[in-house]
Amino acid sequence: MHDNNIQTYNSAVTTIKNAILNAQYEAAKGVNNIQLTLYYSIGRFISQNSRNGKWGTHAIATISQLLKKDMPGLRGYSETSLKRMRSFYEEWAELDPVLNSSIKTDEFSPVKTDEIIDLLPFNFSAVDAFPANDFRSIGFTHHSEILTQCKDRKERMFYISVCAREHLTPDGIKNCIKQNLYSKKGQMPNNFLQRLPSGNLAKRAILAFKDQYMLDFINVEELGARDIEEVNETVVEQKIVDNIKKFILKFGKDFLFVGNQYTITVAGHDHRIDLLFYNRDLNCLVAIELKTGAFKQIYLGELNGYLRLLDDYVRKPHENPSIGIVLCKSADKTYVEYMIQDYDKPMGVATFTTATDMPERFRNALPDIEELKKLLSSGDE
């Protein structure tokens, strides 16, 4: 190994060691998430020196060995760990307060190896709707597992929140990712993780609902309209009630129908919930507000009020908090996710399609459900 290389690596070791000692000192004073900040800062230092050709090919391995020699008993700074710190920084470089305080470039700017590694705070304000508290509360091993298995940023933030709220072990978050919880949740905009009392209940609620429901027993043309928005919501509600078995089969398992236009009277004022269900698995009431048009923010406020009434006047002591779903014809998910976070009751927004939404050539090709049953039963004779 060239003398100039070993001198550079020794200098890097000194810099990293000083950062570790400084972080240990800060942690001893009770400062939160110092370790995560330390790993991020070391990752930044390694990234900026290893990606620009300043260090040699085996620099990280050499630095790891020299660190262990210089700090006997030091754990967590193997070659693999240092590379994970680099990945941790690079994958979340958007949180770098330095990069986000000036003009961004695609190139990493060189850093002198003898400078001090500043423990820079994460710049969460650089990313919209970032789960900052959840991010800080989970361990580096959890972060590494999420970064390794998930490439989409929204998916990563989802698992960070799941991990934080459920206090999962590294194996626990690995199992959630293996089960593909993110995809199974249907990506319905909701605030379940933030508003339900436990992470396990939130996970079950996420799995209980879809982002879109096909209500193919509703035919707009048969209702005398060209578009669902032209149909009175009461008519659509009644169509669902008339086909409640089909609706529940579409909606999911463990749902029991309580009633429609369920009325709660408070101080002489009547409040009517369009559709009220009970979910056995979630052990809670589920209120559905039915809208035949596009999503509007005002629907969340209305539903939030209904959920408060249900919890105060209808919910049994052994039941979990009531959940609300706005079921509308269309919704901008990004807008919903932004607006729903400030409401204090667990809610989600799903959309529905009708038989009329299916192309006519497909509708005509499908037999009526009763005719299909007759064909199947005749085949058994």
Residues 6+ apart with CB under 8 A from 310: 264, 273, 276, 285, 287, 322
What distance in Å separates the CA atoms of residue 33 and residue 30, rounded to the nearest whole number? 9
Does the pLDDT at position 30 exceed 50?
A: no
Residue 368, pLDDT score: 52
* Same-domain pairing of 293 and 354: yes
pLDDT of residue 24: 67
Based on the fold, state whether residues 153 and 268 are members of the same structural domain: no
Angle at which helices 153-166 and 199-208 cross, to 10°: 140
Which of the four pLDDT bands, split at 50, 70 and 90, describes residue 25? low
Q: Do 28 and 167 belong to one domain?
A: yes
Are residue 211 and residue 187 in the same domain, yes or no?
no
* Residue 35: per-residue pLDDT: 85
3-state secondary structure of 218: coil
Q: Would you say residue 372 lies in a domain?
A: no
**168, part of any domain:** yes
pLDDT at 371: 53
Does one domain contain both 136 and 225? Answer: no
Region 98-104: mean pLDDT is 60
246 and 277 together in one domain: yes
The pLDDT value recorded for residue 257 is 96
Ranking 90-94, 150-154, 233-237, 375-379 by mean pLDDT, the lowest is: 375-379
Query: Is the pLDDT assigned to residue 205 strictly greater than 50?
Result: yes
Residue 78 has pLDDT above 50, yes or no: yes
The answer to whether position 199 is within a domain reads no
Which of 136, 168, 191 is a domain's end point?
A: 191
Domain span at residue 337 reads 204-362
Shared-domain flag, residues 42 and 158: yes
Q: Which of 100, 8, 5, 81 is nearest to 43 (CA)?
A: 81
Task: Tell me if 44 is assigned to some domain.
Answer: yes
208 within some domain:
yes
Span 5-17, average pLDDT:
84
Q: Which of 71-75, 133-137, 283-287 has the highest mean pLDDT?
A: 283-287
Q: Is residue 155 part of a domain?
A: yes
- Residue 271, domain CATH: 3.40.1350.10
pLDDT tens-digit readout, 356-381:
775 554 445 444 545 545 555 554 54
Domain count, the chain: 2
Is residue 41 included in any domain, yes or no?
yes
Q: Is 62 exposed, middle or buried (0-12, 13-18, 19+ CB in 10 A)?
A: buried
Task: Record the pTM.
Answer: 0.55
Mean pLDDT of 204-215: 88
Q: Do 325 and 352 contact (CB within 8 A), yes or no?
A: no
Three-class SS of 126-180? HCCCCCHHHHHHCCHHHHHHHHHHCCCHHHHHHHHHHHHHHCCCHHHHHHHHHCC
- In three-state secondary structure terms, 181 is helix
Q: What is the CA radius of gyration of the chain?
A: 28
Assess whether 326 and 286 both reside in one domain.
yes
In a domain, 102, yes or no: yes
Claim to verify: residue 112 and residue 218 sit in the same structural domain? no
User: Residue 142 — very low, low, confident or very high, per pLDDT cuts 50/70/90?
Assistant: very high
* 346 and 322 housed in the same domain: yes
**Same domain, yes or no: 228 and 347:** yes
Please give the pLDDT value at position 29: 45
Residue 362 confidence (pLDDT): 43
Report whether pLDDT(284) > 60.
yes
pLDDT number for residue 59: 93
Average pLDDT for 300-305: 97
- Which pLDDT score is estimated for 112? 47
Domain end residue (candidates: 191, 220, 251): 191
**Same domain? 143 vs 211:** no
